[in-house]
Amino acid sequence: MKSNEKASLSLIKISLISILMLLLLGVGVKAFNSQINNVKIILSNHYEMNVLTTKTTVSEILEENHIIILPEETVVPDLESEISEDKTIIITNVSQSHAEVVRLASESEKISVDQIIGSYAPITEKITTEQVVIPYETVTKDASNSAATTTNKVLQNGKDGLKEVTYRIKYQNDVEIEKTVITEKIIKQPVNKIVQVKTATTSRSTTVSRTEVANDNSSIDGTSLGKFKVTAYCSCAKCCGKANGITSSGTKATANHTVAASSRFAMGTKLKINGNIYTVEDRGGAISGNRIDIYMDTHSQALAWGVRYLNVELVD
């Protein structure tokens, strides 16, 4: 009887040990089949941590490591997503750069960590004040009564205005990403240029043909030379191809004094144009025939002069 009891107890022990071994073996197989990942987590304060986990979704990995997402924070990839191939989770404060990260993430499934971190670079602001030119406008007054031949007369020269503008400028990675006007203050109002269009008049008595004007200017002293096409230029490279202001005669060009004329006029010849007396000190490739170029201090003044047809008189 006792032998049978001992045999029964032995069988029970063997069964229990077998069941226990099977349970342990199943747990071991399950653990073996679960892949262990090394995941990098970058917090919003830029602290980095590496964790080992068998979890696969972002929310599970964060929960496992007791990381709570605050309302003002966002996660890439989002909480419900599987961990990305680069095994990186980035937590950051919500900012304007969030949209850029979303755009980059949507364009490439294999976006690098450096690209994402670069998109979250700090944004700096600067307040700066600049002076901005206010261009003048040209106002045309038509007094020609629809005449076939007209001429323009400048009643008032235009002048640019000036304003002071204060901007708020945002930079990211030293690149300007936004520029906003804060205030504007007018320093000087622009003055409109007023041009009158009227019927052109001609007078044969004041017209001198090219054959009547000799190279010897002494023969035409005090004579009206008729209407010339009068333009303007300055010493910039656009007007002269150089910017030193030295004329063909070797003198320094001077406003209200220097003009460029064709070789029919000797250097130093005095010409009266629009009530002012000028000196021929310069030449020009496009200056020929009845054309004269008046020197101005600035390119904007030369442009404002435009093209005028004026009487020119030789001064003794």
pLDDT tens series, the chain, 316 aa: 555 565 566 666 777 777 767 666 654 545 444 688 899 999 888 888 999 998 889 999 999 999 998 888 888 888 988 888 888 998 888 654 555 555 555 555 555 655 555 555 677 888 999 998 898 888 888 877 777 787 888 889 989 999 999 998 888 777 888 888 989 999 999 999 898 888 876 554 444 444 444 344 433 445 788 888 899 999 887 887 777 888 888 899 999 999 999 888 889 999 999 889 999 999 887 788 889 999 998 888 888 888 898 889 888 7
pLDDT of residue 101: 56
pLDDT of residue 227: 87
pLDDT of residue 25: 60
- DSSP H helical segments within 166-291, as ranges? 237-240
Angle formed at CA 137 by CA 135 and CA 143, multiple of 5 degrees: 160
Count of helix runs (H) and strand runs (E) in the chain: 6, 16
pLDDT of residue 294: 94
Structure letter (DSSP) for residue 145: T
Q: Which residue reads 């987590």 in tokens? A: 41
- DSSP H helical segments within the chain, as ranges? 2-33, 58-64, 97-107, 113-119, 237-240, 299-305
Cα gap 42→55, rounded to integer Å: 17
Q: Domains of the chain, with CATH numbers?
A: 37-121 (3.10.20), 124-139+156-195 (2.20.230.10), 202-315 (2.40.40.10)
pLDDT of residue 118: 58
How many residues are there in the chain? 316
Cross-strand partners of 161: 134
Sheet holding 175-188, edge to edge: 123-134, 161-172, 175-188
Q: What is the CA radius of gyration of the chain?
A: 44
The pair of structure tokens assigned to 94 is 């919500």
